[in-house]
Amino acid sequence: MQTVRQLDALRGAVATWRAAGERVALVPTMGALHDGHMALVEAAKRAAQRVVVSIFVNPKQFGPNEDLAQYPRKELADSRMLAAAGVDLLWLPPVETMYPAGFATNISVGGVSEVLDGAHRPGHFDGVATVVAKLFNQVRPDVALFGEKDWQQLAVIRRLVADLDLDLEIQGVMTQREDDGLALSSRNAYLTPEDRAQAVALPRALGLVERTIAKSGDSEAALAQAREILTAAGFDIDYVTLADAETLGDPIEGRAMRLLAAARIGGTRLIDNIPVTTSEYG
């Protein structure tokens, strides 16, 4: 695996593959890799002959009171995992390459960025859209892969790509979970053993809502029950809600729906989401 920190070296490597007619996949990450990221890498290997993984802890997507300084950084372990998985190139851009002095551009995707996590984390999705657009332009992949755990992020990126006619395919990859159902996330590392034991209430509450809606269609009662379960487990809830799977606005009959939640336990903010498969939503 090549490890590259200079933009011209990245472009040279990708140009060589392209000249040989090879498809290139990009897996953008912020490092602290876990099996969820490795599932993205495996999907990337199926989608293209060459796989680039980027690691960049993007300051623009962290709010002033968020965990930028504490965000786990594990470059050596990450690099070993990626090499063992058969990744071709690890792109490690320095912050000066991503945001050189004078950098003044902000990409803001309206609508889908403004609700749910966008409302709770002002500026977060602008930071994501801006860095992802830069990564797409640096690597110029044929396909880029993102985890469905960050469903709203995936929806924002799909909107960005459609709106700007970016010439690449976006693939979402199913959320990877621990045996008890907790979605894999780099932030799970912050959980104390006590919080970790309670955290399983999040996927359980979502599963309960999904089953209740499938049976009775009474979404309001099911959502209220989920909020009770989460509060009893010690969560401080940002939202538990049903939304249109693409726009993240209110559900519309006949269109795909998603059940999404964000809640804090012991200071750690967890998010999760699952599909809801019924045309009735109460």
Among the listed ranges 11-19, 22-30, 113-121, 194-202, the one in contact with ligand PAF (CB under 6 A) is 22-30
Instruction: Decide: is 25 part of the binding site for ligand PAF (CB under 6 A).
Output: no
Q: 100 to 129, contacts with ligand PAF by CB under 6 A?
A: 128
Count of residues engaged in binding ligand PAF, rule: CB under 6 A: 10
For the CA atoms of the chain, what is the radius of gyration? 19
Residue of 174, 230, 228 whose CA lies nearest to 201: 230
Spell out the SS3 assignment of 164-212: CCCCCEEEEECCCECCCCCECCHHHHHCCHHHHHHHCHHHHHHHHHHHH
Q: Exactly one of 4, 25, 29, 50 binds ligand PAF (CB under 6 A); which one?
A: 29
Q: From start to end of the chain, where are the E strands?
A: 2-4, 24-29, 50-55, 89-91, 143-147, 169-173, 236-244, 257-265, 268-276
Residue 61 beta carbon to ligand PAF: minimum distance, rounded to whole angstroms: 6
- In the complex, the smallest distance separating the C-beta of residue 55 from ligand PAF, rounded to whole angstroms, is 8
Annotation says 124 is catalytic: no
The answer to the question of whether 45 is labelled as a binding residue is no
* DSSP, res 49: S
Residue 152 near residue 125, CB atoms below 8 Å:
yes
Q: Which of residues 140-159 bind ligand PAF (CB under 6 A)?
A: 150, 153
Considering only 33, 38, 47, 61, the residue that binds ligand PAF (CB under 6 A) is 61
- Specify binding-site residues for ATP: 30-37, 147-150, 184-187
Residues noted as catalytic: 37
Instruction: Report the interface residues with ligand PAF, using CB under 6 A.
Output: 28-30, 58, 61, 128, 131-132, 150, 153
